[in-house]
Homo-oligomer: A and B are copies of this chain.
Amino acid sequence: MIEIRVQPGDFDPAIELARLEALGGGAVASFVGQVRGDGGLTELFLDHYPAMTDRMLRALADEAAGRWPLIGVVLIHRIGALGAGERIVLVATASAHRAAALESCAFLIDRLKTDAPFWKRERFGDRSHWVDAREADDVAADRWRRPD
């Protein structure tokens, strides 16, 4: 079971986890990313490239399912204007093996950060700016790349 959603609205981690738990694998790992309100942030706006986003998220889920014995993958990413504390992203995986669930969950969020065409713009009252990509994210994603 692979489920991928890109949506403006919120999602309920409980529903997604319950769906993965119902698969009976025994191990469910998840990661939720939220908007941090640091420095007086008033809005986070998420732009994306619709035709490519779905394709890249699906490719990542397929790669994870090829590398680990997974029985379920859920990837949900929100778009549009979000306030401090709101959820941005959910990655959740199910497997019969805890290491497979945990590692694939880390793989998916690390690689999503560099491979999926989303862009964040932060607003602080009257000022707003597009967020710069972080080198640390490239490093985190690179550790999952295997020698050819």
* Interface residues in chain A, defined as those with a beta carbon under 8 Å from any beta carbon in chain B: 12-14, 17, 21-22, 24-37, 84-85, 87, 96, 98-99, 101-103, 105-106, 109, 140
In the assembled complex, 17 residue pairs joining A and B whose CB atoms fall closer than 8 Å, in A order, are A13-B14, A13-B17, A17-B30, A17-B32, A21-B34, A24-B36, A25-B34, A26-B33, A27-B32, A28-B34, A29-B32, A30-B31, A31-B101, A33-B98, A36-B96, A99-B140, A103-B106
Is A29 a contact of B29 with CB atoms below 8 Å? yes
Contacts of A37 in B (CB 8 A): 24
CB distance from A89 to the nearest CB of B (A): 10
Is A28 a contact of B28 with CB atoms below 8 Å? no
Contacts of A21 in B (CB 8 A): 32, 34, 85, 87
When A98-B109, A102-B106, A140-B99 are in contact, do A27 and B17 touch as well, CB less than 8 Å? no
Residue of B nearest to A31 (CB): B29
Contacts of A140 in B (CB 8 A): 99
Is A34 a contact of B24 with CB atoms below 8 Å? yes
Kindly state the separation between the CA atoms of A14 and B18 in the bound complex, as whole angstroms: 9
Residue of B nearest to A15 (CB): B14
